[in-house]
Amino acid sequence: KIGFDQIEKAREAQLQRERQEKIRQRKLESKRVDHLARALREEEQKLLDDWADEIQQQDEEFLDIAEAKAAEDQIAAHEAALREKEVLLPFCEMKETWVTTKMGKRQEELVEKEEAREARARAKVVKNKIERAKRRRQEAEQQAEKEREEKEEARRQEEEEQKKKEEEHLKAERRKKDEERRKEDGER
C-alpha cells in the first residue's frame, strides 16, 4: 500500500522533473534564439555593407554628374561673357576717351585740392615749430632771469654779511680801544 507521504514525494519529484524539463526547454529555446539572432546580424551586416557601398557609389555618381553640369555651366557663362566682351569692344575706346576728358578735369581739381591741403599742412607745421621755438626761448629767458635774480640775491646777502662782519669787527676794535683807553685812564 502506498502512503500519503510517498504520494507527496512522488508528486514533488514529478514537479521537480517538470521544472527541470521546462528549464532545459527554455535553455534550448534561448540557444536557438541566440543562434538565429547571430545569423540575422551576420546577414544584416553583409546587407548593410552592400547597401553602404551602393549608397557611396550613387553619391559618387551624383557628384560626378553635378560637377560635370557645373563645369558645363561655367564654360557656357565664360563663352557668354566673351561674346559680350566682343560686342562691347568697339565702344571701349569711346568710353576711355569720355572717361579721360571727364576724369581729367576732376583729376586736376583733385591735384589742386591735394596741393592746397599739403600747403596748409606745411604752414601749420611751420607755425607749430615757430611757436615751440618761441616758447622754448621764453622759457630760457625766464630761467636766465631767475638765475640772474638768484645770483643777485646771493651777492646782496653776501655783501650784507660782509658789512655785518666789518661792522662787528669795527665795533670790536672800538671796544678794544675803549677798554685800552679806560685802562690807560684807570692807570693814571
Q: Which of 116, 22, 141, 2 is nearest to 14 (CA)?
A: 22
Q: Which of 72, 94, 76 is nearest to 84 (CA)?
A: 76
Check pLDDT > 80 for residue 2. no
The DSSP line for 115-142 is HHHHHHHHHHHHHHHHHHHHHHHHHHHH
More confident residue, 5 or 53: 53
Tell me the pLDDT band of 179, cut-offs 50, 70 and 90. Answer: confident
Rounded Cα–Cα distance for residues 46 and 54 (Å)? 12
Q: What is the mean pLDDT of the chain?
A: 90
Q: What is the pLDDT of residues 137-168, one digit of tens each?
A: 999 999 999 999 999 999 999 999 999 999 99
Rounded Cα–Cα distance for residues 17 and 140 (Å)? 126
Q: Which three cell numbers stand for residue 55?
A: 549608397
The owner of cell 532545459 is 24
Rounded Cα–Cα distance for residues 159 and 77 (Å)? 104
Helix/strand/coil for 107: helix
Q: Which three cell numbers stand for residue 17?
A: 522533473
* Overall pTM surpassing 0.85 (yes/no): no
Check pLDDT > 70 for residue 178. yes
Check pLDDT > 70 for residue 188. no
Q: What is the pLDDT of residues 94-119, one digit of tens each?
A: 888 877 887 877 888 888 999 999 99
**Helix or strand run (H / E) with residue 3:** none
Q: Which of 133, 113, 115 is nearest to 123 (CA)?
A: 115
